[in-house]
Structure 1
Amino acid sequence: MRYLTLAGLLLLAGCGNAEQEAYNEAIQKGVDILSAEQYEKAEAYFEIALENQPDDEKATAYLAQTQIYREAKDFYDSKEYAEALEKAQQVVESENGLEGLIAKATAIIEEINAKEDHIDAELDKAKAAYDSGNMDEALPVIENLLNSEELSNAYFSELKAVGEQLLADIQNKQNELAMDEAAKAKVEEESLLQGSIDRNINAYNNLSLPLRMLLATTVVDERAMSPVLLGYTLAYNFDEEYLLLNSHSGAGVGHQWFIIRDDSNTITPIEGLVNMGTSGYRDVAVDSTPVSKADLYNRYMESKDSYDLALQNVFRLPEMTMIKYEELRSYSGQ
């Protein structure tokens, strides 16, 4: 009996050593193959180790850690960053785990955080340019960011919303600046135009009196624009605030009288009469819209030689008065 007992003990010891050796070999192979990133094979080796030592904490921890890390990596590769972070953090916090897998899981966490940090930095860059009023610098930064693959990931949806709002703010500011520039340009253009108008009005007022009278007559009688006033004469006179004009050919009918108000910047027709011969005088319809002296000066410059030569037919006639005009008007319809 003593012999059989000893033999049994030796047999049991042999079996125990074989199981231990198989366990050790499986653990070592599992750890070694992890370096080649063959995670499923590593899991298989750790399962073999557990078959030999079912309650072993190390093999249990290694197997669970490898399985969780493989899930973390799969989530990361498929760009499911929220799930990848959760699994990677479990690997890092696992007890009795492998340092190599902890390092790999930490790298996943750091890579996702680096992506987020990059997005934050670009948003800050665009925001700083926006705040400083440099829209041309801010716009390409935010557009490139919003078009990037990173920001298309659902994990960064909140940052994407921030970027989209910033883009809208930049575009609105650009529109405001463009409108301001357009308004400024318009003001400058109007200022230049007004300056040109003021210069022309001043130039008109500095012309000789007969030349001004001739140009004023063109507002009510187109004959005053005929070359060198050929065939016509123009008489004029001032009475109170009114300018009286009389253009005629020297014979027949059609001798027209006009009353015009001569202001500092404009010429304004008031009314007119025309000689109808034996029928007396008749009212002449006039357009009472004020005409800028700047326009009259431009008219003069377009045919300067003609108007200058026409002055020989322009003269002042003191007998032309408002009393005389009203007298003629009293003959209207006779």
Structure 2
Amino acid sequence: MKKLSLVVLSFLLLLAGCGQADTDDAYNTAIQKGLDAIASENYIKAEAAFELALEDKKSDDKAKAYLVQTKAMQAATDAYAKKDYRKTKEEVANVIQEKKGSDALVQKATALQTKVDTLEKQEQNLQTKWTAIEKAIQAKDYDTASTQVTALLQEDLAEFPAIKKQAEEAQTKITMEKQALVKQQEEAQAVKEKQEAEQKTAEKEVPMDGADANVEAVLPTGDEIYQAGAALIYADMMAQGQPAGSFIIDENYQWQGEDMAATYAFQVYDAESPNPIATYWYFADTQEVQRQ
């Protein structure tokens, strides 16, 4: 009877030993699969492997630490893809501070931290350059702004699509406003030259007795007055920082004075409302405008 008991006991111990061996093998296999997945940066697969290891050894500190690290690294990777650098750094810190975790994960987290730091410095530098471009545009210094935008677009902006889009839009805006300003200046100059030529012709044709009929015959027409005055007013509004298209120069100007020394009052309105934003005096004899 005693011999039978000893045989049964030995058999049970053998079974227990085999069961423990199987558990250890499953645990070790799961841990190794998790580490292999970390090496290939497949953190979702690694997380599943470490959870499987904890099913075999529920209180294992190493498997718990690996799992915590892996979840944090996956979160950091997701945040980085969304360019949420603050969240990225928070999760990276969670990976690094795990004392019993994977050294491989710590190395990868540290590398990601360095990359984020570098990108943040680049972004700060690009923002400084963009601020300088905005100031040049506001000052109507289009040549400087154009040079700065061209230089900015030549940089590697793959990680900064928003800044790239801003620069491309600014480049288009600079070109359009520069062309508009040049056109207005050319039109104003052409009108001025035409009126000066007509005035010289009139002076030659006016008889010595000063007959007024000839002078009246060469006075500028209404369209010429509006074009000349509006061109100068447009250039002045642009120079003061008013964007093109944001204002309207009223065609119903008021006339004061006589002959070539006449003075005309122009009203400038907001393009999106009937509210006047400026009054200008246009002096026909000197081809100048003055804002009131």
TM-score (norm 1): 0.42
Answer 1 or 2: higher relative contact order, Cα 8 Å, separation at least 6. Answer: 1
Bigger radius of gyration, 1 or 2? 1
